Amino acid sequence: MTFVDDTNYNGLQYITADNIHSSDVIAIFSTRNGGVSGQTSETQHLCSMNLAHNFSPGEDDYENIIENYKIIMSSQGFDMKSLVTLQQKHTSNIIVVDDNIVKKYRNSPLGFCQISEAADAHITNIKGLLLSVRTADCVPVLLYDSKNQAIAAIHAGWRGALTGIIQKTIKCMIKEYNTNPKDIRAAIGPSIGICCFEVGFEVQESFVNEYGEYIKKHFTAQPESKPFCDIKSMSKAFLIESGVLEGNIEMSDLCTKCNPDLFFSYRYSGGKCGLMSSFIGLK
Ligand SMILES: [Zn+2]
């Protein structure tokens, strides 16, 4: 992963997934820097690249959020018409973004494809679309099947991980695009680290019930304290179990909660924050 200070766009900072990002494919993770939101003391927590376009309605000006999308997408040579967003609800629902979906949902005044069905992952093989998922601690996962020119963007928090959204998205790519998991390059973006991700015993228990005792290796616990979950290593393990080669996976070691100047973090802010977005698109 490379940290980019984009000198063409004042203050814009993002991270590229270098095993995917190339002349053919865009694969980037936004930071909180380089946007226009949060210029007053009341809205400082949204400063400045808030991409929460259908989250906490009324908290940020819609115009600011759209301007933020325009800034980061134009830095990659894409415009609003290329954007695809999801109605994220911590589900394991996956949208196959085909011509029908684009036709059905590309109807906002700005012309981007705002999918209103609850879903937390999407896949496509259509060039010129920029799939996006919004996060502020949860794990963003980007996938690229270089052989069949297909891509995926996944929002995987612990609820998504529990319902197997990563594994299901890869199965969906196999079905739709005849993807061989060995051809997939995967990038796990900045998200909350094991340093900060304390969870309830009941969360650990529900993972054990779903996956078996082995899943406990992704949790640490002192006997008297609650467990901490390594949601990144768990996401990586799910990719490998699904057939992705370990050497084709890149993972950010940055913790969103430990880096409040760089990222929005739900946990750091007590839920009062903007959202970042991860983008993947075939040029
Ligand atoms: Zn941390």
Q: Which residue has the tokens 């290796």?
A: 217
Q: How far is ligand 1, taken at its centre, from the CA of residue 260, in Å? A: 10
Q: Give the distance (Å) from ligand 1 centre to CA of residue 193.
A: 5
C-alpha of residue 182 to centroid of ligand 1, in Å: 31
Distance 253 CA to ligand 1 centre (A): 10
Class of domain 2-190+248-282: alpha beta
Global pTM value: 0.97
Task: Give the model's pLDDT for residue 84.
Answer: 97
Per-residue pLDDT tens over the stretch 149-188: 999 999 999 999 999 999 999 999 999 999 999 999 999 9
Task: Identify the helix (H) or strand (E) that includes residue 83.
Answer: strand 83-87
As a whole-number percent, the residues of the chain with pLDDT over 70 amount to 98
Residue spans per domain, the chain:
2-190+248-282
- Whether the CA torsion 22, 241, 98, 54 is positive or negative: it is negative
Q: How far is the CA of 172 from the centre of ligand 1 (A)?
A: 32
Output the pLDDT for position 223.
Answer: 75
Picking from 146, 144, 125, 123, the residue whose alpha carbon sits closest to that of residue 133 is 123
pLDDT tens, 210-220? 999 999 999 99
Is the distance from CB of 151 to CB of 177 less than 8 angstroms?
no
Q: What is the mean pLDDT of residues 256-279?
A: 96
Residue 153 alpha carbon to ligand 1 centre in Å: 23
| Ligand 1 center from residue 138 Cα (angstroms) | 13
Confidence grade of residue 107 (pLDDT, cut at 50, 70, 90): confident
Residue 68: pLDDT band with limits 50, 70, 90:
very high
Q: How far is the CA of 256 from the centre of ligand 1 (A)?
A: 7
Rounded Cα–Cα distance for residues 225 and 207 (Å): 18
Token duo for residue 237: 């393990």
What is the distance in A from the centroid of ligand 1 to the CA of 128?
35
pLDDT band at 58 (very low <50, low <70, confident <90, very high): low
Q: Using CA atoms, how far apart are residues 43 and 41, in angstroms rounded to an integer?
A: 6
List the beta strands (DSSP E) in 136-261: 139-145, 150-156, 184-188, 219-220, 228-229, 249-251
pLDDT band at 237 (very low <50, low <70, confident <90, very high): very high
Of the pLDDT bands very low, low, confident and very high (cuts 50, 70, 90), residue 193 is very high
* Token pair for 10: 């004042």
At 262-272, the pLDDT tens digits run: 999 999 999 89
